[in-house]
Amino acid sequence: MRFIYLLSISSAFLPLAFSLAAPLKDYKVFIPQWEVEVSPGGSMVILNGTIEQVHDELIKLNPNWDNEYLGENPSKHSENSTRLLDKRTDFSGAQYFCRGRWPEAFRNPINTGIKYLRRVNGRPTNGAGPGNCGRVSCSYRSAIWWCNDDHQPKTLESFGSIADGAQYIVDHCTRSFPGHNLILVSGQVFHKTNWNVIVREDTDSC
């Protein structure tokens, strides 16, 4: 039997999250919650914040977490995470746009956020929308947001589903500036089941 411990890091992250500005006027902001495995085959903990904040906390709890979950050969005990890598959320034919209202972010931090999202166990849940958004990844002023456009709460198959949306934006909206050694990306993609992913620059405590 595996146990789930509620590890509160809200004292560090919740005031920050509550102060976040919504991506658009009239949108709402929620704080992502993650049920994650601390060590292969071990206990699960529930953490709040962005995936980068959760990752920092996991490293404190298990200094070998990166090797066991993000390495080239993750532990066989983390097969739930590995199996999620084989699943992809279908964004074929999805409505999307690049840049527009979203300022451009650095591509590399977005790629790192996508990698982390693919390795997290559990299923993300978003409150009733429309326009209910959570910042699931943010580093180096580069953020991934997940928004629910449905009037009912929404639970996805995995956090990898959000990663798939972000990857779709990276694949379709990246542009390079070789003379300045810059690779930038921003945009928004809408899934047919009434949720969307935003990739953008974010200067709000990011």
- pLDDT of 11 reads 34
- The band of 93, judged by pLDDT with boundaries at 50, 70 and 90, is confident
pLDDT in tens, 7-53: 443 333 444 444 567 676 777 888 888 878 888 888 788 888 898 99
Whether 149 and 128 have beta carbons less than 8 Å apart is answered as no
b (16+ CB within 10 A) / e for 2-30: eeeeebebeeebeeebeebeebeeeeebb
> What backbone torsions phi and psi does residue 92 show, to the nearest 5 degrees?
-60, 130
CB under 8 Å to 115, separation ≥6 — which residues?
70, 163
pLDDT tens track for 105-155: 999 999 999 998 998 877 888 888 899 999 999 999 999 999 999 999 998
Residue type, 133: C
The answer to whether residues 145 and 163 touch, using CB atoms and an 8 Å cutoff, is no
Only one residue has tokens 């949108």, namely 27
Mean pLDDT, residues 68-80: 59
Both tokens of 145, joined, read 């947001």
Strand partners, 167: none
pLDDT tens sequence across 176-193? 987 778 999 999 999 999
Identify the pLDDT of residue 82.
Answer: 47
pLDDT at residue 4 greater than cutoff 50: no
CA distances from 64 to 4, 38, 72, 190 (A): 20, 10, 14, 36
Burial class from Cβ neighbours inside 10 Å (0-12, 13-18, 19+) for residue 100 reads: exposed
The pTM is what? 0.81
